[in-house]
């Protein structure tokens, strides 16, 4: 178990994992302008990856948003949530 980062930010073992979480957050949350995580970086202090709202925007997130996948994934998540509540 890692001791945590002095930044207090959530740590991710790999860039891929951090990017996956970044995109998942966008599919689950509605963000106000300038309040969303948009990028991933490797921390000089802990050596793990963190999310940040500072530019430049992550390339995978840029492609995800430009392709229209965000809208489709949000709709899919709404249906999944509806089915979960019926049980």
Task: Tell whether 8 is covered by a domain.
Answer: no
Task: Tell whether 1 is covered by a domain.
Answer: no
Indicate the number of domains in the chain.
1
What pLDDT was estimated at residue 87?
59
Domain span at residue 52 reads: 15-86
Task: Tell whether 2 is covered by a domain.
Answer: no
Which token pair is 25?
A: 């957050």
Task: Tell whether 47 is covered by a domain.
Answer: yes
DSSP element (H, E) containing 40 = strand 39-42
Cα–Cα separations (whole angstroms), residue 48 to 14, 57, 75: 7, 19, 32
Task: Tell whether 3 is covered by a domain.
Answer: no
- Answer yes or no: is pLDDT of 1 > 70: no
Question: Tens of pLDDT along 4-20?
Answer: 999 999 999 999 999 99
Question: Tens of pLDDT along 30-58?
Answer: 888 788 999 999 999 999 999 999 999 99
DSSP element (H, E) containing 50 = strand 49-52
State the average pLDDT for the chain: 91
Length of the chain: 87
User: Which of residues 16 and 3 earns the better pLDDT score?
Assistant: 16
Task: Tell whether 64 is covered by a domain.
Answer: yes
């Amino acid at each position: 178990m890692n001791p945590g980062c002095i930044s207090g930010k959530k740590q991710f073992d790999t860039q891929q994992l951090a990017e996956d979480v970044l995109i998942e957050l966008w599919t689950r949350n509605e963000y106000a302008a300038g309040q969303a995580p948009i990028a991933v970086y490797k921390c000089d202090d802990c050596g793990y990856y963190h999310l940040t709202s500072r530019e430049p925007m992550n390339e995978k997130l840029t492609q995800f948003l430009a392709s229209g996948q965000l809208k489709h994934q949000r709709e899919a998540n709404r249906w999944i949530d509806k089915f979960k509540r019926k049980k």
